[in-house]
Copies of this chain bind each other. A is one copy, B any other.
Amino acid sequence: MRTLGYAVLSLLSREDLSGYDLKRMMERPLGYFWSAKHSQIYPELARLEEDGYVTHRVVEQRGKPDKKVFGITAEGREALKAWVTEPPAGRAARDELVLKAYSVWLAEPGAAAALFEEQGRRHEEQLKQYEEIEAWMEKNWGESPGRMGFEDFASYAALRRGIGFERDYAGWCRWVAAGLKERQSG
């Protein structure tokens, strides 16, 4: 199975969801570390159902169109569980901003510094959002990772990665911007 399939299963292992729900989860919170458009999700759900990893039931709604709510099967849960402890496939790192940094010597230092400052701001904003979620988690689940529920710990761990990433990335942006500014005047 492809990673997208496991991404879908990872959400369905926590709660039953429609394709539309999944689409929204792929924006937030899962979108922070895995993303997919609805044009990927609907065919993937069909494939997962064909393979026996999920099933669906139609739910009639008032004030909204009907929806198909998907649930994970025992088989799907087993496949997901087995996948979790397998080493991840060697990913191809791709970061456009680092590529730009690598060629920044061609640019006007002032214009480049503005870019990296703006990007720094963006990552600081994202960091702030993550930290708010972190505060909520710690308030509701406790501050000790060892004492919170296992499922909560998993969510907390994923969030922690996001916090580390954004904090470090923002710092790097600021550092690059400062180095560029030094070149602007003297």
Contacts and interface: CB of A to CB of B under 8 A. Distances in A.
Contacts of A68: none
Interface in A127-171: 145-146, 149-151, 153-155, 157-158, 160-162, 164-165, 167-169, 171
A59 interface: no
B92 A104 contact: no
Given A111-B85, A160-B175, A151 B91 contact: no
B105 A33 contact: no
A93 B130 CA distance: 15
Stoichiometry, copies per complex: 2
A23 B124 CA distance: 35
Interface residues of A, number: 71
Contacts of A32: 93
A183 interface: yes
A62 interface: no
Given A161-B172, A168-B165, A183-B150, A6 B99 contact: yes
A30 interface: yes
A172 to B, nearest CB: 5
B96 A84 contact: no
Interface in A43-82: 77, 80-81
A151 B100 CA distance: 12
Contacts of A183: 146, 150, 153
A95 B33 contact: yes
Contacts of A175: 157, 160
